[in-house]
Structure 1
Amino acid sequence: MAKLLFRLGRWSYNRKWIVISAWLLILAIVGGLALTMQKGFSNSFTIEDTPSIDATVSLVENFPNDTNPVTAAGVNVVFQAPEGMTLEDPQMVTAMDAVVDYIEENLPDFGGGERFGNPVEVSPALEEMVIEQMTSMGLPEETAIKDAANLAVLSEDKTIGYTSFNINVEAAEYVEQKHRDVINEAMEIGEDLGVRVEAGGPAFGDPIQIETTSEIIGLGIAFIVLIFTFGSLIAAGLPLITAVIGVGIGALAIVLATAFTDLNNVTPVLAVMIGLAVGIDYALFILSRYRAEYKRMPRAEAAGMAVGTAGSAVVFAGATVIIALVALVIADIGFLTAMGISAAFTVFVSVLIALTFIPALLGVLGGRAFKGKITGIGGNPTPKQTWEQALNRRSKGRTWVKLVQKAPGLVVAIVVLGLGALTVPAMNLQLSLPSDSTSNIDTTQRQSADLMAEGFGAGVNAPFLVIVDTHNVNADSTALQPLIEAQEPEEGEFDREQAARFATYMYVTQTYNSNIDVKNAQIISVNDDFTAAQILVTPYTGPADAETPELMHVLRAQEAQIEDVTGTELGTTGFTAVQLDITEQLEDAMPIYLAVVVGLAIFLLILVFRSLLVPLVAGLGFLLSVGAAFGATVLFWQEGFGGFVNTPGPLISFMPIFLIGVTFGLAMDYQVFLVTRMREHYTHHGGKGQPGSKYTPVEQSVIEGFTQGSRVVTAAALIMIAVFVAFIDQPLPFIKIFGFALGAGVFFDAFFIRMGLVPASMFLMGRATWWMPKWLDRLLPPLDIEGTALEKEWEEKHAAR
């Protein structure tokens, strides 16, 4: 592969205008197609084949005229009276009427709803209707009154009320800004008249807004790091140019993909974040190697050698990132698979750009590639130094690795204990998907959810909708007999099967109401032929409370019991149930995914480094770094340590599995770029030490390889951290958390594992570092990532000349 890449790099250098024109043409074509064919992104996180989705299918089949609760574009507008007043005061009634009337008269696609209107008027009318309907069905009046109170839209103290309505669009993600504008205008009218007004619901979420400042900040910091790395303004700009073009093609391709499939609106954000980071890093690795090579060979061959050696490592590193991202299909969750494949495609483009566009730019610049020198940095001499003095200046990497060599056991202990301690907070990890209850506390969505919880209990924000299908009810069920007999008249005809259906609905509500965490379970709808019912289960706890998923498990266990004794079919759905199903499916997939990526890492590293212990240390180090990243993220973003965030709460459900994938890929990047230099030195000297050296051959290889590779790996890590951390500036909480978690993962892995644990472990292992059984060495195919054969071939040809 190294020889093939050598020819590719040399060809790209010599055919520079063909390469540059081709990539710019690809960018223009993809951009044009994306702008003309794209259909936009969605903001839904639903998945197929979960219990909640199956229940939704049952709901649609049995209640074809009802709104699907999963896709409904519902809005809640919540009112609160000023202190000392109630919503029944004339001024408050007038203010709420104004809000309600403005929405009804001006909102496009207004869908109304039975809870729409002034809550002071709607609540008593709704409660009276519920009592009348329930008692007419045979429910005791006491139960009917309790059910009606649970559906009230005005709090007991009359200070908080709400109105709900739907927007007639296909799903919540199709709500447009014109809809939000009318609701915001109505809220302002109410505020001007003296009532507090907040709004939330699936149809009133903030649109995905991506601030370009994150990319600008990340690129700016990357440019500064590159200046210190190369000491040249021109060279510092080259990786940025290639990264922007690569990410541009990747991001536009993702936009184009919306013409053929539904993609979540977080998909391009994560692809840009990862693509930008790896794009700069891969170009940096190749450019750094070119800088070392062009001093001893013609520039075209130096470009080929850089692509053949550092480019081989780029291909391997990029492949590990791509595999880790594509492996997200293991979770079997549609939107997560799309995110992984989209990010993987962007990384793939970044690899191709680095291998071809960098040498092409070097061909254009020729001897000017490292012009714009800044004295005293990047290896450039100060005004008082000669070039020889600058080259002989003590390397900080050499100083550090020699310090590690003196006390490797201490370094291992500090890294393992330190990162292990940071992993402890991860034991309290809580996961959820974005909702009003987890939004920032200063948003109207969060405040509306908090007001509803204050007025009606936390469970009002986390209801479960149970669908009971009684087409195959067992009228002879022993459990149903008391409820069936209670309906039998003293004389006249009696439809026993119909009575069994109603008895089932009663039996379900009684069973669910027996749970200590259920505030109320009640029948809210029965279909026209009486063969299915909707039962609303309101818990005492909110969507972010740990007790809520526990209650769902209890309900589902009771579902199975009820189905066994009645012959009916039950399913639990609703926004809360769908969220919990997604979260739990992701949690279940994490151990499998982690085992796959760690196992893959160890196998690939055995293949590359022909060693058993080096891959083992790399894998264990990855687990330490990702555990510490989890712990730090939980500590700050979930637990709110130090007041770093204004709204601590559960982390987004797909963050852990995505963090594992990305951190794994990047960890292997640094492992490859750092340890290949060590391996290269060891194999180049035939595993023998230098005469008169106080170091063993393994120690020499670690010190020399670390010295050569640590500078560029440090620069790459700093750039990647800067790009990720810059996304903390984004307005959406889960993008902030991703930026923080990925930045923390890279920080721990690059500076604690690769710069500390790996060299220290190699010093401790000694000759065992590069040991592998001969039978296994013969079994595995050769993989010359270091480009040793390429280097040898060039040196032989050069000597012959």
Structure 2
Amino acid sequence: MAKLLYRIGKWSFRAKWVVITAWAIILVAIGACALAFQQGYSDVFSLKDTPSQKATDLYMQNFPEEKNPLQGTGVNIVFKAPEGETLDSEKNTEAIQAVIDSLNENLDAITNTTRYGNPITLNPQLEEMVKEQSVAGGLPEDMAESDAKNLSLVSDDRTIAYTTFDMDVPLAADVTDEQRAAINNAMDAGREKGIEVEAGGAGFGDPIVIEEGSEIVGVAIAAIILIFTFGSLYAAGMPLIAAIVGVGIGSLGTTLATAWVTLNNVTPALAVMIGLAVGIDYSLFIIFRYRRELTRMDKEEAVGMAVGTAGSAVVFAGLTVIIALVALAVANITFLTYMGLSAAFTVLMSVLVALTLLPAILGVAGDRAFKGKIPFLERRQAHRPGRSTMGEKWVKFVHKAPGLVIAIVVFALGALTIPASQLHLSLPSDTQSDYTTTQRKQADIMAEGFGEGINSPFLVVVDAHDVNPDAPALSALVAAQKTTAEANGTEFDQKKAAAQASFLYVLQKYSTNVDVKHIQMIGQSDDGYAVQMLLTPESSPENEATNDLITSLRIQQTEVDDATGISSGITGLVPIQQDITNRLSGVMGVYLAIVVGLAIILLMIIFRSVMIPLVAGVGFLLSVGAAFGVTVLFWQEGLWGLVPTPGPIIAFMPIFLIGVCFGLAMDYQVFLVSAMRERFTHSGGKATEGSKYNAVEESVIAGFTNGARVVTAAALIMISVFIAFISQPLPFIRIFGFALGAGVLFDAFFIRMAFVPAAMFILGRSTWWMPRWLDKILPSLDIEGKALEEAWEAEHRDALPSPVDAR
């Protein structure tokens, strides 16, 4: 591996303009194709092979004229009277009418208007219509009145009312800014007359916007860190150029992929966030090694050696990140799989750019690679003989009390992990929007007037085409219909009666759940053999009781289907979201086992050690646990009030956090420990004569001293890039940026720079132990470049080049 990369680095350095031109063509070609063929992103989350998806399929099969629940474009507009007043007053009723009139005049995309209009005047008509339809459908009058009350548009105290309609567009994402403006203007018309007016619903969500400022802030901070690291403007700029090219190709490639597959809006943002961080870091490691090699080689050889050694670490570090991202497919959630593949593709591009384009840029830079020096930084970086660096001082301190260091790290990160036990997962909804948004205010007012369950309706679908007419569970209800038919002298159809009986049976069974506020039929298929029911829970979408209710209902669903022969299901936005959450929670352990297992094997191959991968794995669990803990503390529990709207954590954040944090953690493990392994293998496992340290301790101290500064810079760059995304308007991106920044902070500084060297000091020679049988079956890849170094020294033994001042 090292020799191959050595040749690639040297060739890229020599053929600099060919390489640069090739990458430029690739970037422009992918950009042009993306612009020409992309189909845009979607804000729909879907999930195959789940109960809610099967129920949705059943719904669309029996009601093909209806819209898929996941593609809803409904808009709710809620009105609230001033304190001490009701909406029945003439003044307030006129204010509501002003909103409706404005919508009628300025919004031409209104459809599904059964419950649209001034609720004060419309509600009596609607309730009477529901009663008549329910009684005509065979329901007792008291049930009919209950159904009408449940669909009431006005609260019992007459202070809150709402109206609802659909936007006549295929998807919520297709609602235009002009249409949103028309709704906002209509609400203002009511507000000017003294009532509170708010709006929400799938058709009135804020468009998903990824602001570009985060990338700019992240790159700017990274540039400052790079300047301090190299003391040179030229050197600081090269990793940024390489990273931007890699991320550009990755994000444009993701956009192009929308020509063939449906990708969620957050997909490119995650790819950019991760790609930018690793792209800068990978280039940083290679340039840092290049500067070191310039002290004993000419520029071309130094580039080759840097790519052969540090580049090998880049390949395997990138591979761990890619494995973690691709393994997201085990969740079998389409949008999550595509997110992982998109980010993995961007990381792959970043690796390839670091191995080829970066050497070409160094070739163009030539003697100017480390020019543009900043005087005070140059003096700060100047080496003073006999003076230890901060990294050397720190690792020697760890050597004095490794047990104490491990205890402090375990205690500190373990304590921070405790809040993670309260982790509550959910998906975006109006009830979790920021307090200041009209969507959140609408949801809160609706809950105040009609109960929390108004925001979390379920759609129950019943298909009775295969109903069992002789089912014992339906016999009494069928017999009652037969008696009525005989009394009226009408024809009796037993299967039709069994179908109607099955609908009533479902209503009776589901209504016995204590957390069900109400359930009623709201539509019947043309042939009369299928119905849709509205089930209103007592609890809000994010409440654990809602998830428990879904579980209970599905147990009953199986019992009902078996007893009657019908096919039924529960769907709607809340059950679909809950299925996604449950699926993600269920695969977390499997995903963690796969990612950690593969990475341990990979680390065994790299380091020829059993203990190093185990130490790395334990350290990762500590750091990711602490990242979860602080994320829950701030974003879910609202510690110190720093987060304006605390609430449940986005459901797919944990699995993504585990994957990305693990990949990034292995980055630092590879870069830092490979420097230690390099010293150990080059010394032949023997200590320097007269040294007070043994060979393992020397390798740990020397490797840490050489790598600590660059790893520190790399970690600070990653943290800066991730934290910069907290400014994004999208909650998931904000939380993910915070969690990743925390994860890198804990892993780089607590684990890789304290826990790992301390563990290696305690393990001693066991650090590099591996059974002979395992050593034989694992491939040898020479990531430290030992064979490459030996070959180069043999070739240049008699004619070593003069040192080059690269400071």
CA contact (8 A) 2:218 2:724 kept: yes
**1:620 is matched with which residue?**
618
Instruction: After superposition, give the CA deviation of every residue in 1:432-466 in whole Å (9 maximum; x if it has no partner).
Output: 11111111111111111111111100000111111
Instruction: Compute the displacement of 1:756 (Å).
Output: 0.9
Letter in 2 for 1:473: V
Q: Where in structure 2 are the equivalents of 1:181-196 lying within 5 Å?
A: 181-196=181-196
**1:267 is matched with which residue?**
267
Residue 479 in structure 1 maps to residue 469 in structure 2: no
**1:155 is matched with which residue?**
155
2:391 to 397, 419, 433: 397
Residue 438 in structure 1 maps to residue 432 in structure 2: yes
**2:91 is matched with which residue?**
91
Structure 2 Cα separation of the partners of residues 561 and 105 of structure 1: 51
Structure 1 Cα separation of the partners of residues 255 and 786 of structure 2: 41
Letter in 1 for 2:607: F
Letter in 2 for 1:628: A
Structure 1 Cα separation of the partners of residues 419 and 227 of structure 2: 38
Aligned length: 795
**1:413 is matched with which residue?**
407
**2:42 is matched with which residue?**
42
CA contact (8 A) 2:282 2:314 kept: yes
Structure 2 Cα separation of the partners of residues 538 and 193 of structure 1: 33
Letter in 1 for 2:602: L
CA contact (8 A) 2:155 2:450 kept: yes
Instruction: Compute the displacement of 1:703 (Å).
Output: 0.5
Instruction: Compute the displacement of 1:742 (Å).
Output: 0.6
Instruction: Compute the displacement of 1:311 (Å).
Output: 0.5
Change (3 A) 1:212 1:67: closer
Letter in 2 for 1:146: S
Gaps of 5+ in 1: none
Letter in 2 for 1:151: L
Residue 722 in structure 1 maps to residue 716 in structure 2: no
Instruction: Compute the displacement of 1:171 (Å).
Output: 2.0
Instruction: After superposition, give the CA deviation of every residue in 1:568-597 in whole Å (9 maximum; x if it has no partner).
Output: 111000111110011111111111100000
Structure 1 Cα separation of the partners of residues 798 and 312 of structure 2: 26
**1:511 is matched with which residue?**
509
Structure 1 Cα separation of the partners of residues 176 and 7 of structure 2: 52
Structure 2 Cα separation of the partners of residues 649 and 72 of structure 1: 24
Structure 2 Cα separation of the partners of residues 554 and 447 of structure 1: 31
Residue 691 in structure 1 maps to residue 685 in structure 2: no
Q: Where in structure 2 are the equivalents of 1:239-254 lying within 5 Å?
A: 239-254=239-254
Structure 1 Cα separation of the partners of residues 239 and 70 of structure 2: 45
Instruction: After superposition, give the CA deviation of every residue in 1:421-442 in whole Å (9 maximum; x if it has no partner).
Output: 1111111111111111111111
Letter in 2 for 1:631: G
**1:294 is matched with which residue?**
294
2:392 partner SS: helix
Letter in 2 for 1:362: L
Instruction: Compute the displacement of 1:365 (Å).
Output: 1.3
CA contact (8 A) 2:696 2:761 kept: yes
2:494 to 493, 496, 499: 496
Instruction: Compute the displacement of 1:792 (Å).
Output: 1.0
**1:352 is matched with which residue?**
352
**2:329 is matched with which residue?**
329
Structure 1 Cα separation of the partners of residues 93 and 223 of structure 2: 59
1:486 partner SS: helix
Letter in 1 for 2:709: R
Instruction: Compute the displacement of 1:484 (Å).
Output: 2.1
**2:120 is matched with which residue?**
120
Bigger mean CA deviation after superposition, 412-421 or 264-273: 412-421
1:577 to 575, 582, 585: 575
Structure 2 Cα separation of the partners of residues 55 and 364 of structure 1: 61
Residue 664 in structure 1 maps to residue 662 in structure 2: yes
Structure 1 Cα separation of the partners of residues 523 and 391 of structure 2: 71
Structure 1 Cα separation of the partners of residues 649 and 507 of structure 2: 33
2:517 partner SS: strand
Instruction: Compute the displacement of 1:746 (Å).
Output: 0.7
**1:549 is matched with which residue?**
547
Instruction: After superposition, give the CA deviation of every residue in 1:312-339 in whole Å (9 maximum; x if it has no partner).
Output: 1101111111111111111111100110
Instruction: After superposition, give the CA deviation of every residue in 1:257-308 in whole Å (9 maximum; x if it has no partner).
Output: 1122111000000000000000000000000000100121110110111111
Give RMSD over aligned pairs.
1.3
Letter in 2 for 1:11: W
Instruction: Compute the displacement of 1:603 (Å).
Output: 0.7
2:379 partner SS: coil
2:447 partner SS: helix
Instruction: Compute the displacement of 1:49 (Å).
Output: 1.9
Structure 2 Cα separation of the partners of residues 91 and 688 of structure 1: 92
Structure 2 Cα separation of the partners of residues 686 and 248 of structure 1: 44
Residue 132 in structure 1 maps to residue 132 in structure 2: yes
1:70 partner SS: helix
Structure 1 Cα separation of the partners of residues 569 and 692 of structure 2: 72
Structure 1 Cα separation of the partners of residues 551 and 659 of structure 2: 29
Bigger mean CA deviation after superposition, 175-184 or 567-576: 175-184
Instruction: Compute the displacement of 1:68 (Å).
Output: 2.7
Structure 1 Cα separation of the partners of residues 776 and 504 of structure 2: 71
Instruction: After superposition, give the CA deviation of every residue in 1:141-189 in whole Å (9 maximum; x if it has no partner).
Output: 1111111111111111111111111112222222222221211121122
CA contact (8 A) 2:420 2:628 kept: yes
**2:456 is matched with which residue?**
462
**2:604 is matched with which residue?**
606
Structure 1 Cα separation of the partners of residues 331 and 383 of structure 2: 56
Change (3 A) 1:388 1:185: closer
Gaps of 5+ in 2: 800-807
1:740 to 723, 738, 741: 738
Instruction: After superposition, give the CA deviation of every residue in 1:375-404 in whole Å (9 maximum; x if it has no partner).
Output: 343xx335xx9x552x65321111110110
Change (3 A) 1:611 1:63: same
2:70 partner SS: coil
**1:559 is matched with which residue?**
557
2:627 to 626, 629, 636: 629
Instruction: After superposition, give the CA deviation of every residue in 1:89-115 in whole Å (9 maximum; x if it has no partner).
Output: 112222211211222332243213211
Residue 362 in structure 1 maps to residue 362 in structure 2: yes
Instruction: After superposition, give the CA deviation of every residue in 1:693-717 in whole Å (9 maximum; x if it has no partner).
Output: 1111111111111001111111000
Instruction: Compute the displacement of 1:211 (Å).
Output: 1.8
- Structure-1-length-normalised TM-score: 0.98
Letter in 1 for 2:404: L
Residue 795 in structure 1 maps to residue 802 in structure 2: no
**1:755 is matched with which residue?**
753
Instruction: Compute the displacement of 1:40 (Å).
Output: 0.9
Letter in 1 for 2:456: A
Instruction: Compute the displacement of 1:129 (Å).
Output: 0.9
1:237 partner SS: helix
Change (3 A) 1:376 1:702: farther
Structure 2 Cα separation of the partners of residues 70 and 264 of structure 1: 13
Letter in 2 for 1:635: L
Letter in 1 for 2:557: E
**2:802 is matched with which residue?**
none
- Structure-2-length-normalised TM-score: 0.97
Instruction: After superposition, give the CA deviation of every residue in 1:745-799 in whole Å (9 maximum; x if it has no partner).
Output: 1111111110111000001111111011112111111111111111111111110
2:99 partner SS: helix
Bigger mean CA deviation after superposition, 781-790 or 549-558: 781-790
Residue 529 in structure 1 maps to residue 547 in structure 2: no
2:773 to 768, 775, 778: 775
Structure 1 Cα separation of the partners of residues 72 and 636 of structure 2: 29
**Segments of 4+ moved more than 3 angstroms:** none
Structure 1 Cα separation of the partners of residues 68 and 685 of structure 2: 69
Structure 2 Cα separation of the partners of residues 388 and 586 of structure 1: 51
Structure 2 Cα separation of the partners of residues 416 and 530 of structure 1: 64
Structure 2 Cα separation of the partners of residues 272 and 781 of structure 1: 34
CA contact (8 A) 2:44 2:70 kept: no
**1:13 is matched with which residue?**
13
1:381 partner SS: helix
Q: Where in structure 2 are the equivalents of 1:278-317 lying within 5 Å?
A: 278-317=278-317
Structure 1 Cα separation of the partners of residues 285 and 786 of structure 2: 17
Structure 1 Cα separation of the partners of residues 534 and 386 of structure 2: 76
Instruction: Compute the displacement of 1:340 (Å).
Output: 0.4
Identity across matched positions, percent: 60
Letter in 2 for 1:697: A
**1:74 is matched with which residue?**
74
